[in-house]
Structure 1
Amino acid sequence: MAKILTSHVGSLPRTQKVVDFIFARENEKPYDQAAFDAAMTEAVDETVRKQVEAGVDIVSDGETSKISYATYVKDRYTGFSGDSERNAPADLKMFPSFLQRLADDGGTPQYARPKCTGEVRSKGQDELMKDINNLKSAMAKHGVERGFMNAASPGVISLFLQNDFYGSREAYLAALADAMKAEYETIVANGLDLQLDCPDLALSRHMLFTDLSDDEFVKVADMHVEALNHALSDVPQDRVRVHICWGNYEGPHCCDIAMDKVFSTLMATKSRYVLFETSNPRHAHEWTTFRDRKAEIPDDKVLVPGVVDTTTNFVEHPELVAQRIERFEGIVGADRVIAGSDCGFGTFAGFGAVDPDIAYAKLAALSEGAALAGKNS
């Protein structure tokens, strides 16, 4: 019998009070900063409590104060203004009637996506420290030993906040890596694990680089990893989590690049923990890539497969969750598997396909499934 730890990708549903404050800031409307800060502290406390109640071992702050996992950097770093082009994923373009339905139903999030129009520099770590202190306080109150905090990777910033200043993609990535380095180090220095969100390693294939071949795209993704690893040069590898995904939306996903194509890229990240999707119907079969390429998985890597989906309101049966976990236990052993989610439940503030109460029911099912898998191992 082994204990299978549980975690998730990071973002969780926000309350309407939190959303209202975030969009007041986003839309540059007046708001009371002290009231904003108090609302975030209160919400993080409740978010951690709910994670504990659901049986989650390694918790996050739910990315409560952030408008999104990538574009929050525009508020914390200089050099961003104007608006970036919107690139609908290629699979949605293949089905225009579905894309229109999403738009008509409010199925696409609304938030600012400025371009990089100047030198990227940190405005300081004050906002980050508020997030860190909120999470650590809630962890202490609710008896949680391990927590993690999300941060945007250089590559995902370059995906959503496109470059209109630096002379090349390489130069932009290098500038982002240098700018983000202190954020990454601050998170770890304060006793939390660092999670880098890297959908650029998969999603950007069918969102921004549709004109490239898969092999050409992999070269771009490898360049993104090189920039990321540079930014992590002074961060202990055993404190780093990296999440790859193909886009946290319900859609055809028939243009997704295969895990087999980006497997080596993912394994090259300076991370102990790799988080990836294995529950949605387009990638559930790809657990076999890990089985078939087991020899290429570094001995120090811990696999964190998504064993619950984050785009539907089905609550997975714990037996199914256990089966998904056991597949990966059979590859690397129970001590190198943590049960996770496919993606976040609150990727963008005020937007999410899964009902907030159901999101926590899914996390409870994840924990129950992990317990079953632990008994079987």
Structure 2
Amino acid sequence: MPVRTTHTGSLPRSQEVVDLIFAREKGEPYDEALFDRTMRAACAETVRRQVEAGVDIVSDGETSKISYATYVKDRYTGFGGDSPRNTPADLKLFPSFSARLSRDKGAPTYARPMCVGEVRSKGHGELQKDIDNLKAAMVAHGAAEGFMNAASPGVISLFLQNDFYPTREAYLAALADAMAEEYRTIVEAGLYLQLDCPDLALSRHMLFTDLTDDEFLKVAETHVEALNGALAGIDPSRVRVHICWGNYEGPHVCDIAMDTVFSTFLRVNASHLLFETSNPRHAHEWRVWRDRASEIPEDKVLIPGVVDTTTNFVEHPEVVAERLGRFVDIVGAERVIAGSDCGFGTFAGFGAVDPEIAYAKLGAMAEGAALTNARARS
């Protein structure tokens, strides 16, 4: 099987989409029918552009979501008030850069409520709309495979912190119970389920800065345990899991090493592993996968990020092919899919990469995969 292409999930939203999402976010009056029509049309256009760029496994771009994690506050009960904002440790080390980042690019102003009550589903109407929009767009534009993102219990606990359950473990268990049906619904719709788990890396330098690496790994293991509980009964071959150190331009000098979290990451009951390999802080860590290849189960498919999502450089296809070739040499082409480091629209209305350049990067990724495949055949 040749190397195929995908990405991490979120893509730039149009201003019309952003305006409607923020009207709902702020509790302002908005036309619900217009909202639904706009999201359906925007999803279709997002899928069209992915197919045009050469993406094989497409997503809805997280079109209707305010962000990849905090959308749960709109779909589940138990959230209210406001959670503290935790600045990543690396930005605290460089306060002048942190101030410039806020001044020049602004900061997302979406709500981050606390957990203040029992977490329960409000129903899956919004999820079903997203699924229907994506599947209709795939049919319309000839995309054979698609995936849908969902927040992991751990990342929810990172951004929407606990002020109700007696312990972190109890909160994680409640989140896992609540999210399990969402996970099953996505898989039963014929889509891949992608679980976003920056809590397994980002939270080390964002929330757990007072712990040692070993102490943090014990916390991360509880996150994996909760997630695997929520995945019970779901075929791992239909599940993707994404780990990252934060989708922001910054020094990242406090990032925990991939080598340290490697075993924990592999314990998630998901066959498809998405991880960063393009940004300058983690580009060297492809060697971890090479040096620990004997530890990678044969059912794991590697989806390295071969394009960065925090700069407007468009990677040359030769660079993409070089990055992919490293992983093909480790596990074989049939177990490698080209991906992006993170999403291009992690928060609605905010993104370092110009929307047109984001799709140019996806196109370069597809060209690089084609080069890799052509060379394998020759």
The equivalent residue for 1:215 is: 214
The aligned runs of 1:139-158 (5 Å cut-off) are 139-158=138-157
Give the corresponding residue for 1:283: 282
1:236-255 aligned at under 5 Å gives the runs: 236-255=235-254
Matches within 5 A, 1:78-117: 78-117=77-116
Q: Matched residues in 2 for 1:235 and 1:25: separation?
A: 33
SS at match of 1:88: coil
Other-structure match for 2:297: 298
Q: Which residue of 2 aligns with 1:34?
A: 33
Asked if 1:185 is matched to 2:184, the reply is: yes
**2:164: which partner in 1?**
165
Q: In the alignment, what sits opposite 1:59? A: 58
What is the one-letter code of the residue matched to 2:49? K
Q: Superposed, which structure 2 residues align to 1:354-369 within 5 Å?
A: 354-369=353-368
Cα offset, 1:109, TM superposition? 1.5
| Structure 1 position 110, deviation (Å) | 1.4
**Which residue does 1:331 correspond to in 2?**
330
Given residue 211 of structure 2, which amino acid in structure 1 is its aligned partner? L
1:375: which partner in 2? 374
Report the alpha carbon displacement of residue 108 of structure 1 after superposing the two structures with TM: 2.2
Q: Residue type of the partner of 2:368?
A: G
Q: Quick one: which amino acid aligns to residue 230 of structure 1?
A: G
Structure 1 residue 106: deviation in Å? 3.4
Report the equivalent of 1:229: 228
Q: Secondary structure at the match of 1:339?
A: strand
Write the deviation string for residues 89-148 of structure 1: whole angstroms up to 9, x where unpaired.
000000000111111123321110000000000000100000000000000001111000
* CA apart distance, 1:152: 0.1
> Scaled by the length of structure 2, what TM-score is found?
0.99
Q: CA deviation at 1:6?
A: 0.0
Report Cα offsets for 1:281-307 as digits up to 9, x if no partner. 000000000000001101100000000
Could you tell me how far apart the structure 1 residues matched to 2:289 and 2:108 are? 33
Give secondary structure in 1 for the equivalent of 2:179: helix
Work out the CA distance in 1 between the residues paired with 2:29 and 2:105: 26
3-state SS of paired residue (2:107): coil
Q: Deviations over 1:332-365 (max 9, x none)?
A: 0110000000000000000000000000000000
SS at match of 1:307: strand
What amino acid does structure 2 have at the position aligned with 1:139? M
Q: Which portions of structure 1, spanning 4 or more consecutive aligned residues, are displaced by more than 3 angstroms?
A: none
Q: Give the counterpart letter for 1:210 in structure 2.
A: T
> Paired residue for 1:132?
131
CA RMSD between the two structures = 0.6
Matched with 1:176 is 175
Q: 2 CA distance for matches of 1:66 and 1:357?
A: 20
| Superposition TM-score, scaled by structure 1 size | 0.99
* Structure 2, gaps ≥5 residues long: none
- Per the TM alignment, residue 4 of structure 1 is displaced from its structure 2 partner at its CA by 1.1
Q: Deviations over 1:317-339 (max 9, x none)?
A: 00000000000000001100000
Identity %: 74
Q: Aligned partners of 1:223, 1:289: CA distance in 2, in Å?
A: 23
Query: What aligned pairs does 1:312-323 form with structure 2 within 5 A after superposition?
Result: 312-323=311-322
Q: Distance in 2 between matches of 1:362 and 1:144?
A: 19
1:4 and 1:297 mapped to 2: Cα distance?
18
| Matches of 2:35 and 2:106, distance apart in 1 | 27
Deviations 1:30-78 (A, max 9, x none): 0000000000000000000000000000000000000000000000000
The one-letter amino acid of 2:99's match is Q
* Displacement of 1:200: 0.1
Cα distance in 2 between the residues matched to 1:9 and 1:34: 29
